[in-house]
Amino acid sequence: MTKMTLQEFQDELHSEYQGDTDTPSSSDSEWTFRLRLLKGAIREWASEEGITWAELWAQLSDAATGDKTVNASDVDYACPTDFDFPGGYVRTTDASGNHTYWEVLTQERAELFKNESVRACYFTGSQKAGFTLHFMDQPTAGHTINYPYYKTPTVPSAVGDVLEMSEPRFAIHFCLSKMHEIDGEGDRSTKSFRQAQASIIKMRRRNILPVFLQENKVLDRDEDTGTADFGE
């Protein structure tokens, strides 16, 4: 994984495009133009079909926003502003570290359990309006809320901000392709586009690599929880 800041991105992009080291300053319109191209590259990466990037998984406990504590009579809680979709059970935790797990239902299935006492929850919302977590039953006041979720990508703004993608050269090649296209340099644009695609392939391969010394198999939930019948 290559760590790259916004400043390093601008430096490398400029050198490959112009062949010198006179990177535009952050107050220059050319810097802003290239930053807009970078936003497009990040969106293209984040929306890659059929894959969820490891870099975009997060925990509510690590988020700067989002409700994290149960109130006495509240079953609805705001999600982080970068929330995209939930990634597993919601859990509430008491002061001793004991967890209560809440199954996550789809919104339409949750309608079947309205006015019933069930240990479940569901999410509603949109990128425009924001997302909300709804508990089907009242959690215990004072407990901490936590859940894994898939987040929207962060677009760097300060020069020291780090790009999230594991192979940031994708962003450089993507932007170069657009810049050469604008310049009418078709061959150079095509070359940079192919290099960008090669970087995406590298990231896809890295993303599915199992952790060393860990089993790589389809999980059997019944076996793991001890509820499977003999011979199954």
pLDDT in tens, 62-76: 999 999 999 998 999
pLDDT score recorded for residue 73: 87
Q: With respect to residue 67, please indicate whether it lies within any of the assigned structural domains.
A: yes
How many domains does the chain contain in total?
2
pLDDT score recorded for residue 162: 97
| Dihedral in degrees, nearest 10, Cα atoms 125, 126, 129, 133 | 30
What is the domain extent for residue 141? 55-151
pLDDT score recorded for residue 212: 74
Is residue 226's pLDDT more than 60?
no
Contacts of 182 (CB under 8 A, 6+ apart): none
Q: With respect to residue 147, please indicate whether it lies within any of the assigned structural domains.
A: yes
pLDDT band at 2 (very low <50, low <70, confident <90, very high): confident
pLDDT band at 148 (very low <50, low <70, confident <90, very high): very high
Name the pTM for this structure. Answer: 0.87
Q: With respect to residue 109, please indicate whether it lies within any of the assigned structural domains.
A: yes
* Cα separation, 169 vs 160, whole angstroms: 17
- More confident: 232 or 218: 218
Q: Are residues 145 and 65 in the same domain?
A: yes
Q: With respect to residue 216, please indicate whether it lies within any of the assigned structural domains.
A: no
Q: Are residues 69 and 11 in the same domain?
A: no
CA atoms within 13 A on the CB side of 169: 15
